[in-house]
Chains A and B, each alone.
Chain A
């Protein structure tokens, strides 16, 4: 009961930003799943509605988007070991 220290309510700006970046990194795969599930709504019944190059462009566009977002987030994530320590005992 008294052993567990409550995490601090307020963080320094940099630490706060770091945590939000990590939240973003955690969220990204779910965004990816949603975007990649959209093709399920496409229909391929009639010959007029044939999914051609536009479907191709959509999939590869989502792919590029995910890669770019991951690259941005990863570059902001502090690659230090103590980042985990700050998780539990921040400032």
Chain B
């Protein structure tokens, strides 16, 4: 049998080994050989601090009491890890971009670098972590006691307390040495992480070794083990769905919110890619940790006498079977679980306490800026961290002593989780919702804290310890709806589920509602945008707008925080980056931004911001600046809109130009056609004139012939003249050079004149008129109007192909407007030609028959256009029908001006 003293020696030896490992790792990291140290494997193993002594020992006890429910504690983190793409990836990216040092820093930084929020989160975390640390001390102490008991020494309370005290002191020393030795720019602790990784392996090996011994050594293989589980009295499944789901949620949320988990997950993360591996490797680790829990519990219940503490089965089963070596390994596993958790938790909490409580308070007392000296802030921070480590450990120890170290402690693990989880709404809201505000976050956190204290934490001390039995039963001051375990009269649910439900529900509700109704400060909005859009590649507006401080002041201030060497290195680097030869760079807003981020990596965002704000004189970002930034964006938008409008306009112009070009081309073709047409029209009469004049010149012909030829020549010359007259007329009309002579007369006279002039003396064309209708007085250029009528009448005479040609002239009145229709009884004009007849040189009928050049209707149209009227072809009539719309009678007087 292992003697108790030997156990002490082994434990001390193990601690020395851990010191050595941490020391070597620190040395290697300092020498720049940190490649191996920052591998995904180490990262994954460092996450194992989630598995504390409470889970190492307690899981078996939990399984013995409540069956499979113990597994929820591992399933929550498993779900969070396999869903890493949602939350963890974002947290790690934000942590890197913003140099986040702790979960309090995350919340504070997100909500406008608020000092108060940092304090609230720190206080919640410390309260929630204290019982958990006490739990670790208890586990280690109990495991020592088991060995002492095996030797026949039964400890009294004093023995327990002394052991717990020495464990606490030892842990504090280790943490101070490796956790607060340096004030790193990115707050990583290589030595501690390495030691934790080793401890992670030790505790996994220990639990698996005990499990393998139980399954193969005692039960005789997996098959028999399963049979044994079925035969055992253990109740694996309680039908309490509320607990099952609540605990999975709780453990998953706690995995994100516990300060120590945030420390290893986000702050100590060296590379985002490590998450890829850890996303499955850490669930695998958890799986291995819980695989043998139920077998150990079942075998322990079978073998050990009734009434033995199932929390210690991992130790007592091997001891009972006489396997001292295995028991020592198991002891080391539990020891590792407890120490690694306590070390990281105290580092994380000490960072939070120093950055968010001690330094802000200390700075507020430091009004005398002249008395500063290099590294003084750094000194204060390191000192406060060391004291915080000691203080937190002392709190844990005190809690352990006060609670009496009994079984009451075992229940507090989940209650402690619930306290930490109060940060979840502010955290998730902060990284996904830009509308979350500082006031909302603070109110939500405080609400959650109060409800958690009232429903879970204070009752956990036991009946009548803090809350009396009467308050538990009737509520405070007789307000029954405030009963700690039946808020608002909701009874009948598990007290833990009740506490989780109400605290999370009201916390989230207050957070959301107050976020909706309050208005965030400029810096808050800036930070909110940077957190939520962390994956966008947009550069944010700098939070500092003026750079009123001198580089020297900034350097002095930086030296106060991170020491002279590092501060000077940063300034020199920036100077080189700016292309300056000296050691002091130019103070630009970008540089201040960078410097603040560097400093935030050491003292937290709120303190760094406050210290720089002191120097710069508070000229941080203002609403006006934000608006200016927005204006700039709006201007760019407007500019691009203008460009777009301009390009649209250009497109329109181009379209118009194209259309004009098409028209010009068409006109050019038309002109060519016109020229060829006109030369043809001129050539025909010229040809006959020339040939007949040739004949006349040659002589030798009769008088008759002479006369006939001369007649032809004369006719052709007349036709030629008429053609030229028409052309001239058309040209004058088209160019608008026509001079109109206003006259007044009746339509009846005008028609008489037109019929007379149309040359109807052959009497072929009969005309019918209604003289009563024609009594209309006109004021217009009557000569021109008559020209139109003559043209239309003579057209009828020439082209009407009826046997007995007949033309009807009707006057139509439409209100003040008059129109004259000329309708003959011929075959009319085919629809396809109706469009063409008003064009120049268009002749529908065979041109030779009429001898016209096809200009008549074109001239008519131009004349009517000039007179302010219109001539159109009327389709669907018995023959060819034209309507002349007369110029408006009323307006005729106005024509004088034109």
| A32–B230 alpha-carbon span in the complex (Å) | 26
Task: Mark out the residues of chain B between 734 and 760 whose CB falls within 8 Å of any chain A CB in the assembled complex.
Answer: none
Asked if residues A74 and B280 are in contact (CB atoms below 8 Å), the reply is: yes
Asked if residues B536 and A88 are in contact (CB atoms below 8 Å), the reply is: yes
Answer whether residue B373 sits at the interface, using C-beta atoms and an 8 A cutoff: no
State how many angstroms separate the Cβ of B629 from the closest Cβ of chain A: 15
Task: Mark out the residues of chain A between 17 and 59 whose CB falls within 8 Å of any chain B CB in the assembled complex.
Answer: 22, 25-26, 28-29, 32-33, 36-37, 39-40, 42-45, 50-53, 55-57, 59
Answer whether residue A11 sits at the interface, using C-beta atoms and an 8 A cutoff: no
| A26–B536 alpha-carbon span in the complex (Å) | 19
Answer whether residue A15 sits at the interface, using C-beta atoms and an 8 A cutoff: no
Answer whether residue B287 sits at the interface, using C-beta atoms and an 8 A cutoff: yes
A64-B287, A67-B283, A71-B280 known; A42 vs B78 contact (CB < 8 Å) = no
Instruction: Give 1 or 0 for each of A56-91: 1 = CB within 8 Å of chain B CB.
Output: 110110011011111100110101010011011000
Asked if residues A29 and B83 are in contact (CB atoms below 8 Å), the reply is: yes
| A43–B230 alpha-carbon span in the complex (Å) | 16
Asked if residues B82 and A66 are in contact (CB atoms below 8 Å), the reply is: yes
Answer whether residue A5 sits at the interface, using C-beta atoms and an 8 A cutoff: no
Answer whether residue B644 sits at the interface, using C-beta atoms and an 8 A cutoff: yes
A39 partner, pick from B235, B237, B277, beta carbons under 8 A: B237
Which of the candidate stretches B127-135, B167-175, B239-247, B422-430 sits at the interface with the other chain?
B239-247
| A60–B229 alpha-carbon span in the complex (Å) | 15
Number of contacting residues on A, CB 8 A? 44
Answer whether residue A12 sits at the interface, using C-beta atoms and an 8 A cutoff: no
| A64–B284 alpha-carbon span in the complex (Å) | 8
Residues of A within 8 A of B284 (CB): 67
Answer whether residue A6 sits at the interface, using C-beta atoms and an 8 A cutoff: no
B68 partner, pick from A25, A26, A55, A85, beta carbons under 8 A: A55
Asked if residues A43 and B239 are in contact (CB atoms below 8 Å), the reply is: yes
Asked if residues B283 and A60 are in contact (CB atoms below 8 Å), the reply is: no
A55 partner, pick from B79, B236, B535, B537, beta carbons under 8 A: B236
A39-B244, A56-B229 known; A88 vs B537 contact (CB < 8 Å) = yes
Instruction: Give 1 or 0 for each of B51-88: 1 = CB within 8 Å of chain A CB.
Output: 00000000000000000100100010011111111100
A74-B280, A77-B276 known; A32 vs B82 contact (CB < 8 Å) = yes
State how many angstroms separate the Cβ of B88 from the closest Cβ of chain A: 11
Answer whether residue B248 sits at the interface, using C-beta atoms and an 8 A cutoff: yes
Residues of A within 8 A of B78 (CB): 32, 63, 66-67
| A53–B223 alpha-carbon span in the complex (Å) | 10
Answer whether residue B650 sits at the interface, using C-beta atoms and an 8 A cutoff: no
Asked if residues A63 and B283 are in contact (CB atoms below 8 Å), the reply is: yes
Residues of A within 8 A of B304 (CB): none
State how many angstroms separate the Cβ of A68 from the closest Cβ of chain B: 8
The residue of chain A having its C-beta at the shortest distance from the C-beta of B93 within the complex is: A84
Asked if residues B287 and A67 are in contact (CB atoms below 8 Å), the reply is: yes
Answer whether residue B637 sits at the interface, using C-beta atoms and an 8 A cutoff: yes
Asked if residues A42 and B86 are in contact (CB atoms below 8 Å), the reply is: no
| A42–B75 alpha-carbon span in the complex (Å) | 18
Residues of B within 8 A of A74 (CB): 276-277, 279-280
Residues of A within 8 A of B273 (CB): 79
The residue of chain B having its C-beta at the shortest distance from the C-beta of A56 within the complex is: B294
Asked if residues B245 and A40 are in contact (CB atoms below 8 Å), the reply is: yes
A33 partner, pick from B79, B237, B291, B640, beta carbons under 8 A: B79
State how many angstroms separate the Cβ of A61 from the closest Cβ of chain B: 11
| A63–B272 alpha-carbon span in the complex (Å) | 24
| A32–B244 alpha-carbon span in the complex (Å) | 14
| A88–B538 alpha-carbon span in the complex (Å) | 12
A77-B276, A79-B276, A88-B536 known; A53 vs B287 contact (CB < 8 Å) = no
Asked if residues A70 and B75 are in contact (CB atoms below 8 Å), the reply is: no
Instruction: Give 1 or 0 for each of B259-303: 1 = CB within 8 Å of chain A CB.
Output: 000000000000011001101100110010001001000000000
| A25–B230 alpha-carbon span in the complex (Å) | 36
The residue of chain B having its C-beta at the shortest distance from the C-beta of A72 within the complex is: B280
- A sample of 18 cross-chain residue pairs with beta-carbon separation below 8 angstroms, ordered by A number, consists of A3-B640, A22-B85, A28-B83, A32-B79, A33-B79, A36-B75, A37-B245, A40-B245, A42-B237, A50-B236, A53-B227, A53-B230, A59-B68, A63-B75, A63-B78, A67-B82, A70-B283, A84-B535
Closest CB pairs A-B (n = 3): A29-B83, A51-B237, A71-B280
List residues of chain B with CB under 8 Å of any chain A CB: 68, 71, 75, 78-86, 226-227, 229-230, 235-239, 241, 244-245, 248, 272-273, 276-277, 279-280, 283-284, 287, 291, 294, 535-537, 636-637, 640-641, 644
Known interface pairs A40-B244, A68-B280; 10 further A-B residue pairs with C-beta atoms within 8 A, sorted by A's residue number: A3-B640, A52-B236, A53-B229, A63-B75, A63-B287, A67-B280, A67-B284, A67-B287, A69-B82, A87-B535
